Structure 1
Amino acid sequence: MTEGQQPRDYDYSPWLFTDRADDAARARQHTYQRSLGGTIGAGCFVSEHASVHPDELRLGDRSYVAAGAYLTGTLRTGRDCSINPYAVVRGDVTLGNAVRIGAHTSILAFNHTMDDPDVEVFRQPLTSKGITIGDDVWIGSHVVVLDGVTVGDRSVLAAGAIVTRDVPAGAVVGGNPARVIRWRVPASRPAGTDLASAGTDLASAVAGFAERARAQADDVLARCWDAGRGLFTDTPGTPPTVRAQCDAIEIADLLLSRAPGQLPAAEQADRLRRWQDPRTGLVGELDERGSPRTPGAGLFDEPAGYHVLSAGYALDLLGSEFPEPIVVVADATAATIVEGLERQPWHTNAWGAGHWVDILGTALHRNARRGIRGPRETVTGWLLMHADPHTGMWGTPAPADGLLQIVNGFYRASRGTFAQWGLPVPYPERVVDTVLRHARDARFFRPEHQNACNVLDVAHPLWLTRAAGYRAGEVTALATRLLRDALGHWTDGAGFGFRAPHPSTRGDRATVPGLQGTEMWLAVIWFLADLAGVAPGLGYRPRGVHRPEPAT
C-alpha cells in the first residue's frame, strides 16, 4: 500500500488496485478470489465488502467488483469490465468486453410471475430469460435493465434509464422506458431498430418493403447475370453455380410471379434437367467452364447434395421435374439408410447431420412422386426414437456455440422430413423452449450479428410448431423484433447479403448482397411476418425450398 493510502480505498476505487497495491494486499486479494470459486482472470479485483454469491462466476482480465455490489445467479464477463459501488447484478447475465456499470445500477435477469391472483407474488415461481450486454457499453448510474434485454455493442445507457427492451448497437438511450435519444456511432444506425419508432405500423412497413423489393427485383437479378456465360452468379464477379441459377428462379417467382427474364423459362428448365447425372440422379457442382461435374456415388456427394433441394424445387417452379429419380436413394435399402443416419456427426456437427437428413428426405419425396416408394417410415422412426425429450431436437449442444448446432440441425432435419411430409414434430413445446432460449444468444441475434441461416433456423421451427399456441406471446414478440431487423438489411438495387450489413463487418464477403442471401431473407421475412400476423402485406408466399406447406 502506498503512503497515505487508506485500507478501503481499493474497495470503492478498485481501479487503483493494480498500480498501487503492495504485496500483502495482492496476496490477500488472491486468497479471497480463490475462496469465491469460479474463473477470475488476471489483474482482477473483487472487494471483500461486496456480496458475491453467484452460482457461476467468470470475470475476464482486469475486471473489478467494488464494495456494496450484490451479485447472484450466473455472471460471465469479458475483459476490462467494472461493477461499481452498490450495483446489483442478478440472474443470468453476460457482459462483453469493456462494459462499465455505474453505481447504484440494477441489472435484473429474472422476474416474479403473478399468474395466480390468490397466491402472494413472492410465493409464485420465478422466470429468467437472461440479459446480454455487448462490447464497449457504458451504463450510467441508477440505470435499471430488465430481464430478456439485449444491449448492442458500443451503446450507452444514460443515467436513470429504465431499459425494458433491446438496445441497438451504437445507440444512446435514456428515459423511462428507455428510447433512442441519439447515436454514439451514427453509422451504426440500422433501419427498423430505433426504439423511438418501435410503435411504427409493422404491417405498413412490411407492405412498403415488398413494394420496394418487387420494383427492384429485375435489377437484383441483372446484377448477378453473367451474360458471357449465360449463367447467374451468386454475387458479381464470382463463378456461376448451380445454386445461383436456382436462387434466381426462386427470387423471380417470389417477387415477379414468373421466371427470370434473362432466358426463356423452358430453356432454364431444360438446362437444369440436362445437368442431372443419370447414374446417381444428382446434379454436380459446376466446373470452371460452367458444366456440371460428375457426382460421386453413394449417399451423398457433398458438392451435389443440396442440389436435390435447390434444383428440384426450381424445376417445380418452372413447371418441370428431373428426368430421372434420385437413383442413389432409390437403390438404398432401409439398412443403408439407418447406417447413414447413425454415422452422422449428431454430437459434434448437428447442422451437418440435419443437412444430410434434409437431402435424404427431399430425395425420398421426389422419388415418391415418381411412384418409387422408399423407406420413409424408417427415417421418421429413427428420428422419433432419437429426439431429445428435453430439447425436442437431435444432437448435443456445444460449449463453443451454445444451442446453434442443434437448432440449425433441427431446422434442416425437420424441414426435409416432418415439414415436407406433413407430419407433426416430436416434443413441439420443447422445441419452442429451446428455440426461444437460443434466440437470446446475442452472438447470433444482435442485428449486426445476424445471418440468413441462423434467423431462418429460428423462424421456421417456431412457425412449424405455432399450432400448439405455446408461449405464443413470446413467439410473436421475437418474430416482430427479428422482422424489423430483417427489413433493415435490404440494400437498394442489390438485395440482401447472407449476413446483415454493419460498419463493424465492412469487408466481410458474406455481407455483399447476392442471390443466396436475397432468396433466404425473403423466405425468412415471410415466416416472421406470418408469425407476427402481417404476412398478407408482403403479397408473396414461398413456393420453393422454403415453402411453408407440406410438399406431399
Structure 2
Amino acid sequence: MAEHNVAGTIGQTFGRSDLDYTPWEFWDRAGEADKVRQHALQEVLAAERGFVLGERCFVSELASVTNETLELGDRTYVAAGAYLSGTLRAGRDCTINPYTVVRGEVRLGDAVRIGAHTSLLGFNHTMDDPDLEIHQQPLTTKGIAIGDDVWVGSHVVVLDGVTVGDKAVLAAGAVVTKDVPAGAVVGGNPARVIKWRTGPDRPSRRRTDDLAGAVAGFAAAAREQAEVVLDRYRNDVGGLFTNRPGAAPTVRAQCDAVEIADLLLGGPPPWQHATDLAEVLRSWQDPATGLVGELGDDRRPVPPEATILDPSTGYHVLCVGYALDLLGSRFAHPLAVFADASAADVVAGLEGQDWDTGAWAAGHWVDGLATALHWNTRLGVVNGRGTVEALFGWLLRNADPGTGMWGRAGEPEGLLQVVNGYYRATRGTFAQYGLPVPYAERVVDTVLAHSRDVRYFAPARQNACNVLDVAHPLWLTRTSGYRGEDVAALARRLLSDALSHWTPGQGFGFQAPDPTTSSVSATAPSLQGTEMWLAVVWLLADLAGLSDQLGYRPRGIHRPEPAAASWPGPDPRRPGVTGAGG
C-alpha cells in the first residue's frame, strides 16, 4: 500500500515542470492557472526591475534572472536552468534553452535559437597584473551582438567582443572567438567556417539580375509618380511645401522639394519657376548674419542668433545653399558670422562639442561650419585666415586610429552616435572638399560592425538617417577596395530593403513602414523621408554596381562628387589654381 502511495505521488508530480524546459509550448499547453501565474510574474519583473517583456513571452521560475537590463521581444522564451545577468536585449521569437548562460552585454536579433548548455559571455576578466589574483582584477566588456535568424547549437561558447551575422549557424560545441560572417556555418575550437547556409556556395535566392530589375522598376515608378508625390506636400496657401500634409511650411521642406524634383524630374518642382523659387529662398537669408532662421507664423524666418554655434540654423546652411545651387542661383549675402570667425574660434567650437556622448550633434555643427565656409568661397568672400586649415587640422589630429572616427562608442546606443556623427562631419569636410579621409580601412571596419546592430538595421527598425550614415562612409572609402565583398553584400541587402519602403503616390517615410511600427509617426511618408531615401538608394545602388539602373544621380546636398569641383573661382586647396567646372 505504501508503495502504491509513493508511486501515485511520483506519478502526480513527474513532468509537472516540463513546460519550463520546453517553453515554446507553454502558451499552447499550459493550464489557465499557470498562465495567470506567468502573467503575474512578468508584471512583477516589469514593475520591480524595469524589465521589458513582449507579448507571449515566457520566463521560467526555475531560471536565474538577475539582469540590470532585460528586454525580450514577442514570443521570446527563457527556459529552466538558464542563468542571465548584465544587459540582454533580445528581439522576437528567440529561445534561451535550458542551462544556457547569457551574461554581460548581449544583443540578440530576431529568431535567434540557442541550444542547451550554451554560454554567451559578454564580458571578460583582465589579467594585466600577474601579482594580482584574477578575481581581484577589473572586468572589461565589449559585448556580443547576434543578428537575425541565427541558430546557436548546444554546448557552444561565444566570447566577449564577437559579432555573429544574420542567418549564421554555430555548430554544437563550437568555441567562437571572432566574428562570424552572415550566412556562415562555423564549428570547432576555435570556430572556423566549415560551410555556408547562405553566401559564397549558397547564394541568396535574390540574384543580382533580380535586384537590378527591382532598382530599374522602382526608378521608373518614382519618376512616374513624382508630380503626384510633390503635390501631396504643397500647401494650399502660397504654394509653399510642408514636410507632411497639413503641417506648417518649413525652410527644409522647400529645399527637399527642390532636391526631389531635380532627381526625378530633372528640374524645379512643377508649378514653380526656378527663378521665382530661388528668389523666395534668397529673401529668407538674414543680411546681417547670412543665416536662415526657422519660419515663423507669418511664414517669414525668425532672425537667427549671430553666432557660428547656433544649431537651429546649421542645416539651413546646407539645404538652402544646395537648393539654390540646383536652381542656378546662390545666397544673396555672405554668411558673415562664419566669414568673421577666426581659426581660434573654429578650434574653440570644435573643442566645445560633446564628442564623447553627442558625436552626431558635433558632426552636425562641423557640417554646417564647413559648408558655410564653402559657400563664402563660392561667393568670392574671404573667410578668416586659417579657418579651413584649423578645421581640417583638428579633425586629422583627433581622429581615432582604432575606429577612424571621432567620439566614443558605448551603450545604450553602441556605435550609433559615432557613425552618424562621422557621416555629418565628413560630408561637410573631406567629401565636400574632395580630400581623402584618414584611416579609411578602420572606417570600413567600424561601419560594417555598426551595420550588424539589429536595433538599427533589422528591416523594421531602419530609418533614413541611420542607413544614409553607413552608406555614405562606405561610398567615400570605396576606392580603398578594403572588404569590398562585405560592403557590396551589405549594400545589396539594405538596397533591397529600401526599395520596399516606398509608398505609391506618397514617397518614403523617414522610418521604414512595418506592421509592428504602424503607430510610429516617422513611418508616415514625408518630404524629408523621400529626399533622404532617394539619395540612400543611389549610394547603395552604386556600391552594389547598379546605379546605372536608376537614371538619376544626386547633384545637391547628397552629391557624390566634391562640391569644390564646381567652384568657378580659385580652389582653396590649391592656391592659384582654378577649379574645374563640375
Q: TM-score range by the shorter chain?
A: 0.7 to 0.9
Residues 103, 120 of structure 2: 8 Å contact kept: yes
Cα distance between partner residues in 2 of 1:78 and 1:498: 22
Cα distance between partner residues in 1 of 2:352 and 2:106: 37
Q: What is the match of residue 501 of structure 2?
A: 489
| Closer, same or farther: CA 79–292 of 1 in aligned 2, 3 Å | closer
Correspondence 1:263 to 2:294 = no
| Closer, same or farther: CA 150–517 of 1 in aligned 2, 3 Å | farther
Cα distance between partner residues in 1 of 2:554 and 2:420: 20
Shift of 1:367: 1.0
Cα distance between partner residues in 2 of 1:220 and 1:466: 33
User: Which residue type is aligned with residue 425 of structure 1?
Assistant: V
Q: What is the match of residue 245 of structure 2?
A: 236
Correspondence 1:397 to 2:406 = no
Q: What is the match of residue 445 of structure 1?
A: 457
Q: What is the match of residue 332 of structure 1?
A: 341
Residues 501, 511 of structure 1: 8 Å contact kept: yes
Correspondence 1:83 to 2:96 = yes
Residues 118, 153 of structure 2: 8 Å contact kept: no
Could you list the per-position Cα deviations for residues 184-242 of structure 1 after superposition, in whole angstroms to 9, with x for gaps in the alignment? xxxxxxxxxxx754666211111111010000000011111113122111111000001
* RMSD over equivalenced CA pairs, Å: 4.3
Q: What is the match of residue 95 of structure 1?
A: 108
Could you list the per-position Cα deviations for residues 255-288 of structure 1 after superposition, in whole angstroms to 9, with x for gaps in the alignment? 1111011211100001111111011100111111
| Closer, same or farther: CA 177–277 of 1 in aligned 2, 3 Å | same
Correspondence 1:209 to 2:218 = yes
Q: What is the match of residue 227 of structure 2?
A: 218
Shift of 1:94: 2.9
Unmatched 5+ residue regions in structure 2?
A: 1-7, 27-32, 35-50, 122-142, 157-162, 169-180, 185-195, 565-582
Q: What is the match of residue 382 of structure 2?
A: 372
Q: How does 1:6-405 map to 2 (within 5 A)?
A: 13-14=20-21, 64-65=78-79, 77=90, 82-84=95-97, 94-95=107-108, 101=113, 130-133=145-148, 147-149=164-166, 165=183, 196-197=205-206, 201-369=210-378, 370-374=380-384, 375-405=387-417
Corresponding pairs, count: 468
Shift of 1:101: 4.0
| Closer, same or farther: CA 100–339 of 1 in aligned 2, 3 Å | closer
SS of 1:306's equivalent in the other structure is helix
Cα distance between partner residues in 1 of 2:459 and 2:307: 40
Q: Identify the match of residue 541 of structure 1 among 553, 559, 576.
A: 553
Residues 449, 499 of structure 1: 8 Å contact kept: yes
Identity, in percent, stands at 56
Cα distance between partner residues in 2 of 1:178 and 1:432: 22
Cα distance between partner residues in 1 of 2:214 and 2:117: 36
User: Which residue type is aligned with residue 519 of structure 1?
Assistant: E
Residues 318, 368 of structure 2: 8 Å contact kept: yes
User: Which residue type is aligned with residue 445 of structure 2?
Assistant: D
Cα distance between partner residues in 2 of 1:331 and 1:292: 22
Could you list the per-position Cα deviations for residues 472-508 of structure 1 after superposition, in whole angstroms to 9, with x for gaps in the alignment? 1000000000000000000000111111111111132
Cα distance between partner residues in 2 of 1:498 and 1:57: 32
SS of 1:483's equivalent in the other structure is helix
TM-score by length of 1: 0.74
Cα distance between partner residues in 2 of 1:385 and 1:475: 27
SS of 1:94's equivalent in the other structure is strand
SS of 2:147's equivalent in the other structure is strand
Q: How does 1:459-478 map to 2 (within 5 A)?
A: 459-478=471-490
Q: What is the match of residue 535 of structure 2?
A: 523
Q: Relative contact order, CA 8 A, sep 6+: which one is greater?
A: 1
Correspondence 1:417 to 2:416 = no
SS of 2:309's equivalent in the other structure is coil
Shift of 1:90: 12
| Closer, same or farther: CA 85–413 of 1 in aligned 2, 3 Å | same
Unmatched 5+ residue regions in structure 1?
A: 21-38, 49-55, 110-127, 152-162, 167-175, 180-194
Residues 364, 376 of structure 1: 8 Å contact kept: yes
Cα distance between partner residues in 2 of 1:429 and 1:540: 29
Cα distance between partner residues in 1 of 2:360 and 2:63: 44
Residues 20, 79 of structure 2: 8 Å contact kept: no
Q: What is the match of residue 131 of structure 2?
A: none
Cα distance between partner residues in 2 of 1:201 and 1:91: 42
Residues 106, 144 of structure 2: 8 Å contact kept: no
Residues 46, 64 of structure 1: 8 Å contact kept: no
